[in-house]
Amino acid sequence: MRSRSILGKFAMLVLVWLLLGASPGLAQEREEGGVKEVPVAAAGAVTGLVPEDLTGPLTAQDLVYTLVGQGITVSNVTFTGAEVAAGVFQGGAGIIGFDKGIILGTGNIVNVVGPNTKNNIGVNNEAAGDAQLDALAGYPTHDAAVLEFDFLANTNKIQFRYVFASDEYNEYVGSKYNDVFAFYINGVNCAMIGSDPVSVNTVNSGKNTGSYINNDIASGAPLNTEMDGLTSVLTCNAAVNPTALNHVKLAIADASDFIYDANVFLEQGSFEPVPDCCAGKNCPDDPELSKECVPSAPPFYVVVNREFEDLTRPGTGCQPIILKHPDCKDCCNSQDAACLDAQKDLETRVCPLLASRVDWSQSTGTEIVYEMCCGSPEDCKGKWYYHVRLLKRDGTCPIDPENEACFECLPPGTGIDLPAPLIVAGLAVIGIVLLAAALLVRRRSRKAASA
């Protein structure tokens, strides 16, 4: 009888335990850390992140007006989610990579304030998830914060900068707690890194590591934010309709449960048209025409046979470095002394300069380089030709032994939407080619080694 009594009590305990574990209202799988206690001093001098949510006078329209820059007209603004899960911030320059902007989060945005003192910061807003984010995460989502609006822009493309951060790092990487967000522009998510949507499971210390910053307590929490991990500053580039309304949906949510906060920061004024600096012009070797183009680097390329020289510009898709060698009429002619001089100048001055502008910590150790010029002999007049070079960390840039020929048309990154890690040389933004790991080049034709 005694043994039966003990067994009965044990069975009852197991039943209670199962009931508690199966009832989300009675027990949770993980412990949540509540709301960050922010020192009063944080409201004074801006020495760290200072957020302001929608519980006060701030409105969803204010968030959109903070985000968009010049050349954008907005309408039909809506926000869905908890008021504490969205707002504006300042003081982020030395922490997330830009000073001001807006935040969308899955808990309370006050939890972005540093320093990092907890591994489990989080607030359950008991808000609904989002169906599109469910599909993206692969798990049910909760506590979604969704900001939507329509806009008009006289452009074919817009861009904006953002940072994703989460306290799911690093313990729950690869798990079902894949907190996720998306920026849907006319239904297409532009918050991508390669072919992956940006999330806890796709950007971390084991995947897309060059875009991940570890800030957990075990690492010393070098950044002044409570979030255990975050991305570097990423850019959304999206095609839009220049003659009709476009729709934007900015959304973030917890995946699988309501616990542990995730946030996405969007830079103030960065939602703006991408300058069409080359439309209808013999661009981009005109410094005046291309001066407003995106200033980041890489990619690079250099116009070789110009009348003037400019090594100061970053050399992006519409801002080439320009090398003054007007006597080089055909850069594919290995017997042309003027062109040999141009190549030597490229190797001794330009390639070391380009190497100094590459973040080699995010490189495999070799970057692709294009040396390009316009031919003027009759057989290539009006055409563009380029050599493929390999830029090394030490500043050398030998011609790619697997692509030694001189190729016709324009290389990747000079105008059509195809990738190139590093570009040297160029003029018109018209044609383009596809660059894969083995440098597969479309529309290329070999030209004779001598004129």
Q: Give the CA count within 13 Å in the CB-facing half-sphere of 208.
A: 20
Distance CA 263, CA 260 (A): 10
What pLDDT was estimated at residue 347? Answer: 92
- Give, for 288, the enclosing helix (H) or strand (E): helix 287-290
Distance CA 327, CA 337 (A): 9
DSSP 301-332: -EE-EEEEEE-SS---TT--EEEE-TT---TT
Distance CA 239, CA 273 (A): 10
Question: Cα–Cα–Cα angle for 436, 442, 444, nearest 5°?
Answer: 125
User: Hey, what are 168's tokens?
Assistant: 């799911």
What pLDDT was estimated at residue 410? Answer: 62
Domain ranges within the chain, ordered by starting residue: 30-273, 276-451
Distance CA 98, CA 312 (A): 24
Question: Cα–Cα–Cα angle for 348, 350, 353, nearest 5°?
Answer: 105
Q: How many CB atoms lie within 10 A of CB 112?
A: 30
- Give, for 408, the enclosing helix (H) or strand (E): strand 407-408
Distance CA 100, CA 163 (A): 12
CB neighbour list of residue 435: distance below 8 Å, 6 or more residues apart: 368, 411, 412, 413, 418, 419, 420, 421, 441
Burial grade of 56 (CB within 10 A; 0-12, 13-18, 19 or more): exposed
Residue-by-residue pLDDT tens, the chain, 451 positions: 333 344 344 444 433 343 333 333 323 455 566 666 655 444 444 579 999 999 999 999 999 999 998 889 999 999 999 999 999 999 999 999 999 999 999 999 999 999 999 888 878 888 888 999 988 888 889 999 999 999 998 788 898 999 999 988 888 787 776 788 999 999 999 999 888 899 888 999 999 988 999 999 999 999 999 999 999 999 898 989 988 999 999 999 987 776 788 999 999 999 998 755 444 334 445 555 565 565 556 667 777 888 888 888 776 666 778 888 888 877 777 778 888 898 899 899 999 988 888 888 878 888 877 787 766 555 555 566 777 888 899 999 898 887 777 776 666 545 422 222 233 333 222 233 323 222 323 323 333 333 3
Measured in degrees and rounded to the nearest 5, phi and psi for residue 40 equal: -60, -30
Strand intervals (E) in 58-167: 72-80, 86-90, 101-105, 141-153, 157-166
- Between the CA of residue 324 and those of 305, 309, 311, 355, 373, what are the distances in Å? 6, 5, 10, 20, 11
Range 6-11, long-range pairs (CB < 8 A, 24+ positions): none
User: Hey, what are 403's tokens?
Assistant: 């692509």
CB 88 within 8 A of CB 66: yes
Distance CA 227, CA 167 (A): 5
Q: What is the pTM of this model?
A: 0.60
At 69, the amino acid letter reads G
Distance CA 365, CA 393 (A): 6
Distance CA 232, CA 322 (A): 30
